[in-house]
A and B are shown apart, each in its own frame.
Chain A
Amino acid sequence: MMGLDRDRLIELVQVVVRNPLRAFLSALGVGWGLFMIIITVGAARGLENGVKADMGNDVANSMFAWTMSTSIPYKGYQRGRGLELDIDDVRWLEANTQHLDLVCPEIQLGGWQGTNNVIHGKQSGAFDVSGAIAQYQKAKPMNITSGRFLNQADLDAVRKVCVIGSRVQDILFEFGENPLGETVQIQGVLFRVVGVYTPKGNDEDAQNEAESIYIPFTTFGKAFNTRDRVGWLSMLIKDGVDAEEAEEATKQLIKSRLSVHPDDPRAIGCWTMAEEFQKAELLFSGMRLISLLFGSLALLAGVIGITNIMLISIKERTKELGIRRSLGATPVRILCQIIGETLFLTFLAGLCGLVLGVGLLEAVDGYLEGGGDAGVFRHPEIDFGTVLTVLCILLGMAIFAGILPAIRALAIKPVEALRAEG
């Protein structure tokens, strides 16, 4: 009975279009409110996407640990003891951890952020050179643009191979020259290029990554005489494990392995990406909520406008409603008609705001995809869930907007309505 069939739709359209200017003006508020929600939520999402893209070089559940020197004497060791990890410590940690999915040893030539002169033919440049294992990509994602990343066979056979970043290719190789199979010289040792990668993300870390070279961890130890020494660990926390808990547990494991006092605050350094992601997520959740809240307030103002217009309309249409009652319209039909008109008008306006808002977001997205510069702003979008939420809010507000005029309409007695001017 209450369904929106063709007849009711025609009735609704007739009522709405008979005063098109008024319908347009009253709908404008709602359309504007919804447009604002879409734009602000979409813009917040664009900002979020931009920031996350910049963080794309990192995995949300990644964690890094390194050793320093002790600050508390323990088990006969003096304070200030320098600590080092080796490959056996890594294997022990892998075997004993309950919080980690992956433990990757890593070491860099010249230490953390140390650069090295790398030569190819007549070209040379200063780049980061790191020893890594085949699984390293899981902890530090990258796009392999040609060739491959290091594999287990490289490590087992201690091959002198390397994977170079895109900036390394640009500097050491001629434009159009294929680096695969070519050799580069690092501290007098020749390494054959087996792959080229571009880092994910756009931040400073990603720029540095593009100027890096990875060689097998085993080869690194032999070529540069670091043997099994590990510079730091890149790790992945298991899904569902709290980052802080994993950090603390891992530090305690390493401390116990290296005979460090459990309360030593300085011996082991640790940094988790998850905490950064959590902070960013909190910030963006707040932004989304604020966008939705302020957009909803704008929408509410529009809906109140529609209520007002409907109340005026009911007063003007008193006679028409009386005629309808005299022709057999039940109070429920009148109620449904008024709420239906409000819903129709509100939804029509909302739909226009939605289409315009999404259209604008798409246009901005198209501009950015086409190379437009918008700083840290990327792919503004609004997901289906948010649209659904907004439509539910709109539906609730539309019903709210229709109830008061409908009650006003019902309060008019048929005989009084027929006597009204109009």
Chain B
Amino acid sequence: MLALRGIEKAYPLAGGTLPVLKGIDLNIEQGEMVAIMGSSGSGKSTLLNVLGLLDGFDSGGYDLDGVDMSGLSEKQAARYRSLFLGFVFQSFNLISFKTAVENVALPLFYQKVPRRERQKRAMEMLGKMGMDDRADHLPSELSGGQKQRVAIARALITEPRVILADEPTGALDSSTSQDVVSVLREVNGSGITVIIVTHEADIAAKCDRTIRLHDGVIIEDGRSGDVVEPTANGAGSTD
């Protein structure tokens, strides 16, 4: 489903460049639930952005559903994001002046789905998230957990093949975090690939597979239970 071959990425700095990803090789199959862990600056968020076509790469190759993603234009990248990918962010990234149902329906707007159809599907999706009674609330009127449920509903509305979640529980308490992971687990149960960037070991433990990055290199990749616990200075840190 997702295949990275020797991905390298560096950020320009005054007087040089800062390598962030150093030859990442990675295959993620359809239906997997993968956690990406690593210490601050390890490149895990950059990796997620590359996978999500939000950021480019300097060299290497990336196949999404068998299609080479190298050298995509912004328009093409937007189209692939719209068709294949759903995003869940740590800070929810809901649009503040839109209601829950309008936020959920927004990706369908960019797919040119008619308004009535968008509304119907958004309400159904909110219902699945147990949020239908909050459909007309603005994000400011929702709790953190509710916001993340709305964000997940928004990510799922286009029926993507892959959900990319960047620290989805980072802004939530532990109880709500478990709740959100359960929702993502259910999503994964329906065959959707879920990739979570997290620094929380218990969240990673709920995934099928854990990939650990260090200094732009994959240092571990295995079943979640087999990957060793992060070091003290790596745990709890974020990119």
A residues adjacent to B (C-beta < 8 A)? 6-7, 11, 14-15, 18, 319-320, 322-333, 413-415, 418
B78, B89, B106, B158 interface centre (most CB from chain A within 10 Å): B78
- Tell whether, in the assembled complex, residue B55 and residue A415 are in contact, meaning their CB atoms are under 8 Å apart: yes
A415 and B110 contact, CB distance less than 8 A: no
Known: A327-B106, A328-B110, A414-B55. 8 other contacts (CB 8 A): A323-B94, A326-B54, A326-B81, A327-B82, A328-B107, A330-B75, A413-B55, A414-B54
Contact of A6 among B74, B97, B115, B154 (CB under 8 A): B115
Query: A418, B89: Cβ atoms under 8 Å?
Result: yes
Q: A7-B115, A323-B95 are in contact. Are A329 and B110 (CB under 8 A)?
A: yes
Residue of B nearest to A329 (CB): B110
Question: Can you list 16 A-B contacts with CB-CB less than 8 angstroms, sorted by A residue number?
Answer: A6-B115, A15-B97, A18-B96, A320-B96, A322-B93, A325-B54, A325-B81, A326-B54, A326-B81, A328-B110, A330-B78, A330-B110, A333-B78, A333-B110, A414-B55, A418-B93
* B87 at interface, CB cutoff 8 A: yes
From A6, A14, A415, contact of B49 by CB (8 A) = A415
**Which residues does chain B contribute within 8 Å of A418, judged by CB atoms?**
54, 89, 93
Cα–Cα, bound, A66→B87 (Å): 93
B62 to chain A, nearest CB (A): 15
CA gap between A14 and B103 in the complex, in Å: 13
Q: Using a CB–CB distance below 8 Å, which chain B residues touch chain A?
A: 49, 52, 54-55, 74-75, 78-79, 81-83, 87, 89, 93-98, 106-107, 109-111, 115, 154, 158
Separation of A333 and B109 alpha carbons in the complex (Å): 11
CB distance from A52 to the nearest CB of B (A): 53
Question: How far apart are the CA atoms of A418 and B93 in the complex, in Å?
Answer: 8
CA distance A197 to B110 in the complex (A): 72
Chain A residues positioned under 8 Å from B54 (CB to CB): 325-326, 414-415, 418
Name the B residues within 8 Å of A333 (CB-CB). Answer: 78, 110
Q: Please state if B111 and A328 are interface contacts (CB–CB under 8 Å).
A: yes
A residues less than 8 Å from B109 (CB atoms): 7, 11
Output the least CB separation between A20 and chain B (Å): 12
CA distance A280 to B102 in the complex (A): 60
* B184 shortest CB reach to chain A, Å: 18
Q: How far is the CB of B47 from chain A (nearest CB, A)?
A: 12
Q: A240–B203 Cα gap in the complex (Å)?
A: 90
Check A326–B87 contact: CB distance below 8 A.
yes
Report the separation of the CA atoms of residues A107 and B128 in the bound assembly, to the nearest whole angstrom. Answer: 100
Which residue of the partner chain, among A14, A18, A323, contacts B93 with CB atoms under 8 Å? A323
Q: Which residues on A sit within 8 Å (CB–CB) of B81?
A: 325-328
Q: How far is the CB of A297 from chain B (nearest CB, A)?
A: 35
Task: State the CA gap A202–B135 with chains docked (Å).
Answer: 70
Q: A320 and B52: CB pair below 8 A? A: no
A30 to chain B minimum Cβ distance, whole angstroms, is: 23
Are A326 and B52 closer than 8 Å at their CB atoms?
yes
Contact B75 A327 (CB under 8 A): no
- Name A417's closest neighbour in chain B (CB-CB): B54
Nearest-Cβ distance from residue A327 to partner chain B, whole angstroms: 4
**Is B74's CB under 8 angstroms from A324's CB?**
no
Contact yes or no, B98 A14, CB < 8 A: yes
A261 to chain B, nearest CB (A): 84
Which residues of chain B come closer than 8 Å to A320, judged between CB atoms?
Answer: 95-96
Q: Give every chain B residue within 8 A of A330 (Cβ-Cβ).
A: 74-75, 78-79, 110
Max count, chain B CB within 10 A of own CB: residue among A326, A332, A413: A326
The residues of A that contact B89 with a CB separation of less than 8 Å are: 418
Say which residue of A7, A319, A326, A328 sits within 8 Å of B79 (CB atoms).
A328
**Chain B residues within 8 Å of A14, by CB:** 97-98
Measured in the bound complex, the distance between the Cα atoms of B95 and A14 in whole Å is: 11
B107 touches A327 (CB 8 A): yes
- B74: A residues at CB distance < 8 A: 330-331
Q: Bound state CA distance, A333 and B106, in angstroms?
A: 13
